[in-house]
Amino acid sequence: MKRRARITDVAARAHVSVASVSRALNDSSAVTEAVRERVLRAAAELHYSIDQRARALRQLSSRTFGAIISDVSNPYFSEVLLAIEAVTDKSERNLFLCNSGEDEQREMRHIHSMVERRIDGVLIFPISRSSRTLRPFVDAGIPVVTIDREVDHAAHDAVVLNNVRGSMLAVEHLLALGHRRIAFIGGYGNSPADGRLEGYRSALAAHGVVERKGYVRYCDLMQNGGNVEMKRLLALRVRPSAVIAINHLVTLGALTAIGEQRLAIPRDISIVGFDNPPWVSLLAPPLTTIHQPTDQLGEIAARMLIERADGKYSGKRRRVVVEPTLVELASTAPPRE
């Protein structure tokens, strides 16, 4: 039995995206007449039929956006979510929240659930860098904005931090204090981690400082990972005089390891963290951090999604980069040497 033509077949025949096919078949003004004619001709050639009842259902707005965050217990994501909600509330939209827990299979279940619910648009902190992960949204014509992380070869809008610059600020601050033995505890597998490692290495190279063997450590970006890798740094024959931790959970683990070794901050070792949760000023000593403007990340992403969902913008992919700042407190000082 011959397989019925699918929307992806029409897109391939017309040499356009699936989203463009969906818009053309639904008489959207977001496509040109030339594209519409190409899509209609391809649909006719492939005998592609549209279920009118299903189309009518798709045209009904759910007035709901989906948000898939990767760790609901992490205050960073909670802060971004609050900024998102402030914008979506003003647009009288509901927010359907899912927590992927950094689990790709769990993330896919949430994605399929949102497609089934006919969500108007999705804000996501993607786990995987593969654009195939978000393909169900593309096939369903659902606009997507990725936050904090990006996927490779994707056409989705994105709002990200300048992670390279963030690490460069941290390294330059420590170099200005006189540190040359600067370690880095990071992660792997996502664009923020890669960007922060790139910034660390770029800043060292720009100032003629050679990266020491064993000074770059990788962990799972959780508190225990930071604790384990900090202990390994402290066990080196020539231990670092300063360390940069990739996020606040890793920072907490590193601080615990330093305390267990009965070392004093910043007398024995300086430390710079990423993220700037309210409690950093309550530490003893207060923590020097790279501040991420979570309010900007959330607000910009939500507004971009509303523009897509309401048809106010249908142009090419937008990528907004938000700049970090250094918040200098008392966890960094010149090295004892």
- Summarised one tens digit per residue, pLDDT across range 239-249 is 999 999 999 88
For residue 6, the 8-state DSSP code is -
Q: Which of 138, 135, 122, 134 is closest to 69 using CA atoms?
A: 122
Encode pLDDT of 274-318 as tens digits.
987 777 778 889 999 999 999 999 999 999 999 999 889 888 999
The pLDDT of residue 8:
79
Share of the chain above pLDDT 90, in %: 58
183-200 mean pLDDT: 90
Tokens of 100: 């992927």
| 130-to-152, 221, 243, 276, 325 alpha-carbon distances in Å | 6, 20, 31, 29, 30
Check whether 6 has a pLDDT greater than 80. Answer: no
Convert 162-230 into a string of H (helix), E (strand) and C (coil): CHHHHHHHHHHHHHHHCCCCEEEEECCCCHHHHHHHHHHHHHHHHCCCCCCCCCEEECCCCHHHHHHHH
Encode pLDDT of 324-334 as tens digits.
999 999 999 99
Predicted TM-score (pTM) of the model is 0.79
Encode pLDDT of 103-161 as tens digits.
889 999 999 999 888 899 999 999 888 888 898 998 888 999 999 988 887 789 999 99
Cross-strand pairs, 121: 65
Contact 100, 69 (CB under 8 A): yes
The region of weakest confidence among 68-77, 207-216, 283-292 is: 68-77
Contacts of 315 (CB under 8 A, 6+ apart): none
The burial of 84, by beta-carbon neighbours within 10 Å (0-12 exposed, 13-18 middle, 19 or more buried), is given as: buried
Average pLDDT, the chain: 88
pLDDT-based confidence at 56, cuts 50/70/90?
very low
Check whether 58 has a pLDDT greater than 60. Answer: no
Q: Which of 324, 9, 318 is closest to 172 using CA atoms?
A: 324
The pLDDT of residue 234:
97
Check whether 180 has a pLDDT greater than 90. Answer: yes
The pLDDT of residue 28:
62
The burial of 153, by beta-carbon neighbours within 10 Å (0-12 exposed, 13-18 middle, 19 or more buried), is given as: exposed
The pLDDT of residue 54:
47
Q: In the block, which residue shows the tokens 């384990």?
A: 228
22-34 mean pLDDT: 72
Check whether 66 has a pLDDT greater than 70. Answer: yes
Q: What residue type is assigned to position 28 of the chain?
A: S
Q: Which of 46, 13, 328, 16 is closest to 172 using CA atoms?
A: 328
Greater pLDDT, 12 or 237: 237
